[in-house]
Every structure is written in structure tokens, then in C-alpha cells.
Amino acid sequence: MSDRPPNFIGEHVMYGYKDVLLNSYNESFRKMKKLMISCISKHGFSSKHFQDIADEEFRCVLNQFHALNGQAVDPVDLLLPSFCKLVGGFFSGKHLKDGDPILESIIAMDHDGDVMIQPQVHGILGKFPWLRHCCGFYGNLYSNVIKQRESLFQSLVTEMKETVNKDNVQCFSHQLLSWKEAESDWLTDEHINGMLLDLINTSVLTTKSVMSGMIFMWLHLPDVQQKMREEIDLVIGRDRLPTIEDGKSMPYVQACIYELLRYQSHLPMTAAHANIDHEVEIEGFTIPKGTVIMGNLYGAHHDEELWDDPWEFRPERFLKDDGTPVPRDHASHRNSIAFGVGERKCVGKEMAYNRMFLYTVHLLRTFEFLPEVDTVLPPHHPRHFAPSAPVILPHGFKCRALPR
């Protein structure tokens, strides 16, 4: 069940499935996924160059919160451009400033991509693909997405081609362009742009969902917020910047991240899986060819046979009695599948995790987060979160960030 069913975006936006997320399980998919994983591991947070870009961006975000002087803000509005800048930094090897054409393309692509992947929109376009040629909502949306796809290509791939140099490969785009020569029998500019487009929508939307969920949890559970901050103060203090390695000495913060991914189950379902041209047998059940299946991650994370009190937020599930982390083969880790499993599992698990960790520690060491004055917060219960397909996140809320 590792294929994807035929779909509108794969066919008409990704140049006929020249990407990873929407492609079926074929040779071209396997080669692209391998390159993508290798590129992320080389140029993500393990790269000093990218870490410096990220640190600069965290500084900017903290300044923006400071500038509000404790005034209430919707944290997603403030953080969304920052998530796009991090993705842009990973693509381009530069800290992007407001107004940079690469950043503008990423923000626009993220926005219209989010509209296009809504099931009611993608479903209609899948049934009536000719709507893309008509005037009105669907035609306008499609032509915007294609305009942004081309402008991303112009601003990023074309610029990167001018600066790529095999002795100075410092970002995702340079890496793919420099591999293009070695993989010249199949890797084209369209594959490269397809992979960039994949990463915009998979990473910005998910980071938005997990970070709004994180801040929302702090407002509801100030004791958890304070306990996380105490661990951050103890391990990092105020005199140096946080690093990814600090996570190893912060079991409580880590446990809160794991528990948040389980409790809120930001991506409640996997992407659609299919078996395009063959029957499949799973645990005695025959699945006829052409069946579409989606994994119910939300169900698995709230299954009362697997979890005690699954509707309670309890980071201690990931800790031993003495506060040290449970081993990776513990049931709590085995049953946590926020990033999917098998051949189609997420390529960005580590990057997503590192991003959550760093935003969390930078924000908590600098501010105390409080709800807006005189308003009632929506409930902190995943059954009440808003569907914003394909992710779920807390209903719109505001927070105040008070400098410590």
C-alpha cells in the first residue's frame, strides 16, 4: 500500500508527479526520496551554516515578540513568516529578509497550496480537472499556484544555478543542482522544483500546527510551561544560545514534545495510500487493487488499549520514575506514529523535531506566555480542535509574551 492514488496536484502542479509526496511507489519516487533524505541530513540542523541562519531567525522572532510589549497576538500570524524564512534559509543558504523574492514566493506558495489541498477543493479539481482552465475560483487558484511555482523556480533555482560551485555546497538547492550532473540520466529542473514545492507545504503547515499547539498548551498548563522553563534555565542558562545537542540533557522538554505530538495528533491521518496495480494481503485481509487507505494516526494515539487515559496530556508517559527518558523501544515510543511508518513515512521527522525544540527553548527562556486578558480560552482538548485539513490545530487564540 505504498502508492499514492492519482491526484490533481501531483498531475497538474508537480509536472506529472515529479515529486516525492504525491508520486506513486516507483523507481523515480525511490531515487528522489533517497536524495531528499540525504540532502536534509546534510543541510539541515546538522550543518553549522544552517544553524547560524536559524539562530539569526530566532533572534528576529524574539525581537518581534519584545516589540509587542506584552500586547496580545495570534502567535500563528507572528510565527508563520518565520517558518517560511527557515524553509527559505534551508533552500537558499541565506537568511532571507522581508521582501526577498524567494521568501515572497514561499509565502505565496504556502498560502495558495494550503487552499488547494483542502479536501473540498482538491476533491473537486480531481473530479473536474478541466475547471483549472475556467474563470472563477478554481481557475484563478490554479493559475496563481502555477504563477508561484514558476516564480519560485525563477527566484530560487535560476539564482542558485548562477552561484552553485561544487566546492561550496551549503544548501538544499545547491546540493540538488550539483547532484544533477551525476544523476543526469533522470534528474531534471522539474524534479528539483517538485521537491522544493513538496517541502514548502509539508514543513510550513505542520510547523504552524505544532507550534500553535505548543503555545496553546502553555497557556492552559502554566505548571508544565514553568517546569519546561526550569529545565531550560538549568541546562542552558542565559549566557549562551541553545543548540540541538542540549536536547539530550532535557528529558522533560523532550517528553512534552513527544506527548504533544501524540495528544494533539496534528496530522490526524496519513496522506492517502493506494495499491495501484496489485492486490495486497494484510493480516489475512485481501485488499483489492485500486483501494485507497489512510492511516488513522489520531485513532492510534487515543486508543484506550494502547494508552492509559489517552485524553490526558501527560509527558510522564515518556519518562521513568526518576525523570530520565524511557528507552526508544518503550511502548510509548513504539505506539507514537505521528510521522507515519513504512516506505511512505515522513522525511522531515528529525528536522521537524529539531525545529520544535529550538523554537520552544528560545521562546520559553525569554518569555512567560499568558492568555489574553479577559477572554476565555477555547478548551485544550483535541476533540475540540479546528479541522484545517490536512492538519488540526487549536481554534484561533491570542497570547501575551511577557519578558522574564
Annotated binding-site residue numbers for heme? 346
Please choose, out of 168-176, 247-255, 327-335, 347-355, the segment that lies near ligand HEM by the rule CB under 6 A: 347-355
Nearest approach, Cβ of residue 212 and ligand HEM (Å): 12
Interaction between residue 345 and ligand HEM (CB under 6 A): yes
Q: Which is nearer to ligand HEM, 138 or 318 (CB)?
A: 318
Q: What is the nearest approach in angstroms of ligand HEM to the Cβ of residue 164? A: 21
Shortest gap between Cβ of 305 and ligand HEM (angstroms)? 21
Give how many residues touch ligand HEM by CB under 6 A.
Answer: 25
How far apart CA 258 and CA 265 sit, in angstroms, is 10
Task: Verify binding: residue 126, ligand HEM, rule CB under 6 A.
Answer: no
**CB-wise, 169 or 267, nearer to ligand HEM?**
267
Interface with ligand HEM includes 267 (CB under 6 A)?
Answer: yes
7 part of the interface to ligand HEM, by CB under 6 A: no
**9, 13, 14, 21: which one binds ligand HEM (CB under 6 A):** 21
Ranked by CB distance to ligand HEM, the top (closest) residue is 348
Residues 310-339 that bind ligand HEM (CB under 6 A): 338-339
* 148 contacts ligand HEM (rule: CB under 6 A): no
Residue numbers 22-81 binding ligand HEM by CB under 6 A: 33, 40
Q: Determine if 266 is a binding residue for ligand HEM (CB under 6 A).
A: yes
Residue 206 found at the interface with ligand HEM (CB under 6 A): yes
Q: Which is nearer to ligand HEM, 33 or 94 (CB)?
A: 33
Binder among 92, 148, 193, 203 for ligand HEM (CB under 6 A): 203
Q: What's the min distance (Å) between Cβ of 171 and ligand HEM?
A: 13
The C-alpha cell of 17 is what? 508527479
Which residues form the interface with ligand HEM (CB under 6 A)?
20-21, 33, 40, 198-199, 202-203, 206, 210, 266-267, 270-271, 295, 338-340, 344-348, 351-352
